């Protein structure tokens, strides 16, 4: 790209972003569009059988599954902000069957259990979809699947290997050549694709969370917002959960705070908050829609180490996110980090490189949020306070579906029941701890530079990345 072309691309991105609202599209809606009124904060002393800390997908599924196990159980959910405030209301709305961050990763880390985990994940997704439909939650659910795209020649081998691996596990994946994938979605950047029609569904994540919360309240759960938990202490045979405004005495608690500060300090050893950046376009005109095809409306993602994910919405927009996964020294989580001009402008340039025929399209929203990444890209589970508290955090980038599985794991741990789920190493063994600062930041930044270098050199990974691969460690959003 010449200097003049680069300058023109930057100007195009700046113009497209000029009026973008600095907040998540999914939650930037009023009550007429489905957003609930604010719920009250916890005030005074209450009692319950179960307290759930966090009203994202993991916390909501914990409450949901607890009430399915015992409809008469008393359940309280405490949320520091609003339902769907965190990663739940900021993600792309991809709900994947995989519990292992993909079959390739699962095979590398848990070769002896990946087949069972794959079946577990498929069953979890099927039950998740059935639950949403039976509850009548309007969240724009679509069984449109996903296509993984090769945009560099070296990525084609990875698609072929993934296709062969899927076949060994009975997954009907379609390997597409350049002409086939471009006929489906019209982009000059595509060199090949791997179409999965069953392993992913698309949803409106905020509407799903809002719908789940409303249904939980109809079933008797109590949800308090603006109620950040300041501590969890043992109390008799149970626990006392404290907020600034009150307390809850309960038999047990589940912590599901994702990347946000948790009342259990030990979780900081496993969670690495990575800021992921996202754009949402204005609705496309019929001519613009015809220019890109995309008739099946599936989710799309690149096959590189640094990747984009994108998908259409029910109202004709395109969500476009990913690529930059930014770590801030000390694992800082702050609302002021949700707007990063360099990352959003880079995303905008990548968008128009992918779809040059959409020149003139504008973005209405730009946002970011922290992903609770771990060194192995899957959640960390465990108990604290003498087994009275369970936790499930660290869902990285495929947590929307896995959060339901994690809810059952957390409830199993809290009950002390040796269920089949607890036999998996993905549950029994926590991810490798992340070194503390001041070591953490330089390690993360060097890893990030190594990943960028690998993508720029036909996927060739340096000694550092190969060492991380050997131990199942990594850096990813």
pLDDT band at 476 (very low <50, low <70, confident <90, very high): low
Q: Is the pLDDT of residue 196 over 80?
A: yes
Break the chain down into helix, strand, coil percent, rounded to 5. 40, 25, 40
DSSP 124-148: HHHHHHHHHHHHT--S--B---EEE
The 10s digit of each residue's pLDDT in 62-94 is 999 999 999 999 999 999 999 999 999 999 999
Can you give the pLDDT at residue 3? 87
Task: Identify the three-state secondary structure at position 57.
Answer: helix
Q: Is the pLDDT of residue 477 over 70?
A: no
Handedness of CA 118, 472, 393, 381 (dihedral sign): positive
- Among residues 73, 35, 29, 28, the alpha carbon closest in space to that of 213 is found at 35
Q: How many CB atoms lie within 10 A of CB 39?
A: 19
Handedness of CA 290, 295, 299, 302 (dihedral sign): negative
Residue 377 to residues 84, 430, 431, 432: CA-CA distances in angstroms?
A: 22, 11, 8, 11
Is residue 356 within 8 A of residue 458, CB to CB? The reply is: no
Is residue 35 within 8 A of residue 380, CB to CB? The reply is: no
Can you give the pLDDT at residue 167? 96
pLDDT band at 475 (very low <50, low <70, confident <90, very high): low
Preceding amide of 438 cis, omega within 30: yes
Handedness of CA 168, 468, 333, 300 (dihedral sign): negative
Exposure of 140 in the CB half-sphere (CA atoms within 13 A): 21
Average pLDDT, whole number, for the chain?
95
**Report for 113-127, 431-445, 446-460: range of highest mean pLDDT:** 113-127
pLDDT band at 30 (very low <50, low <70, confident <90, very high): confident
The 10s digit of each residue's pLDDT in 91-139 is 999 999 999 999 999 999 999 999 999 999 999 999 999 999 999 999 9
Q: How many helices (H) and strands (E) would you count in the chain? A: 13, 18
Residue 437 to residues 272, 330, 332, 355: CA-CA distances in angstroms?
A: 11, 6, 11, 41
Can you give the pLDDT at residue 129? 98
Q: pTM to 2 decimals?
A: 0.96
Handedness of CA 162, 165, 166, 167 (dihedral sign): positive
Strand order in the sheet with 173-176: 173-176, 192-196, 146-150, 299-302, 308-312, 318-326, 272-281, 363-373
Residue count of the chain, please give it. 477
Q: Which two tokens stand for residue 412?
A: 């199993």
Mean pLDDT, rounded, for 154-174: 96
Q: Is the pLDDT of residue 237 over 60?
A: yes
Can you give the pLDDT at residue 473? 73
Task: Find the distance separating the first CA and the last CA of the chain, reported in whole Å.
Answer: 28
Q: Is the pLDDT of residue 414 over 80?
A: yes
Q: Which residue has the higher pLDDT, 196 or 31?
A: 196
Can you give the pLDDT at residue 309? 98
The 10s digit of each residue's pLDDT in 277-307 is 999 999 999 999 999 999 999 999 999 889 9
Handedness of CA 420, 423, 424, 427 (dihedral sign): positive
Can you give the pLDDT at residue 411? 98
- Among residues 349, 370, 346, 350, the alpha carbon closest in space to that of 300 is found at 350
């Amino acid at each position: 790209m010449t200097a003049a072309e680069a300058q023109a691309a930057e100007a195009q991105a700046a113009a497209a972003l000029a009026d973008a609202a600095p907040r998540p599209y999914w939650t930037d809606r009023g009550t007429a569009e489905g957003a609930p009124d604010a719920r009250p904060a916890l005030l005074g002393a209450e009692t319950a059988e179960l307290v759930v800390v966090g009203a994202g997908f993991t916390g909501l599924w914990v409450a949901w599954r607890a009430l399915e196990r015992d409809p008469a159980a008393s359940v309280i959910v405490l949320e520091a902000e609003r339902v769907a405030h965190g990663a739940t209301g900021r993600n792309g709305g991809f709900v994947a069957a995989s519990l292992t961050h993909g079959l390739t990763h699962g095979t590398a880390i848990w070769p002896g259990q990946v087949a069972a985990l794959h079946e577990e994940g498929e069953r979890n997704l099927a039950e998740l979809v059935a639950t949403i439909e039976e509850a009548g939650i309007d969240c724009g659910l679509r069984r449109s699947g996903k296509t993984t795209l090769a945009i560099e020649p070296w990525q084609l081998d990875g698609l072929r290997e993934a296709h062969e691996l899927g076949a060994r596990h009975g997954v009907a994946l379609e390997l597409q050549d350049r002409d086939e994938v471009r006929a489906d979605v019209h982009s000059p950047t595509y060199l090949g694709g791997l179409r999965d029609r069953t392993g992913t569904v698309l949803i409106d994540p905020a509407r799903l969370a809002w719908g789940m919360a409303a249904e939980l309240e109809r079933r008797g759960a109590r949800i308090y917002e603006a109620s950040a938990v300041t501590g969890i202490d043992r109390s008799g045979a149970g626990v006392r959960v404290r907020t600034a405004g009150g307390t809850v005495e309960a038999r047990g608690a589940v912590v599901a705070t994702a990347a946000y500060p948790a009342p259990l300090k030990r979780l900081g050893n496993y969670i690495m908050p990575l800021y992921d950046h996202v754009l949402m376009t204005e609705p496309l005109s019929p001519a613009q829609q015809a220019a890109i095809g995309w008739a099946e409306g599936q989710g799309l993602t690149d096959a590189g180490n640094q990747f984009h994910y994108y998908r259409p919405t029910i109202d004709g927009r395109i969500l476009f996110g990913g690529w930059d996964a930014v770590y801030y020294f000390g694992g800082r989580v702050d609302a002021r980090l949700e707007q990063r001009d360099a990352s959003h402008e880079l995303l905008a340039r990548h968008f128009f490189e992918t779809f040059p025929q959409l020149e003139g399209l504008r973005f209405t929203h730009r946002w970011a949020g922290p992903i609770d990444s771990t060194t192995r890209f899957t959640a960390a589970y465990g108990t604290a306070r003498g087994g009275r508290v369970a936790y499930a955090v660290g869902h990285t980038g495929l947590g929307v579906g896995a959060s339901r599985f994690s809810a059952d794991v957390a409830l199993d741990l809290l009950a002390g029941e040796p269920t089949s789920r607890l036999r998996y190493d993905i549950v029994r063994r926590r991810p490798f701890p992340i070194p503390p600062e001041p070591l953490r930041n330089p390690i993360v930044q060097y890893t990030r530079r190594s990943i960028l270098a690998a993508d720029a050199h036909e996927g060739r990974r340096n000694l550092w990345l190969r060492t991380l691969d050997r131990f199942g460690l990594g850096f990813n959003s």
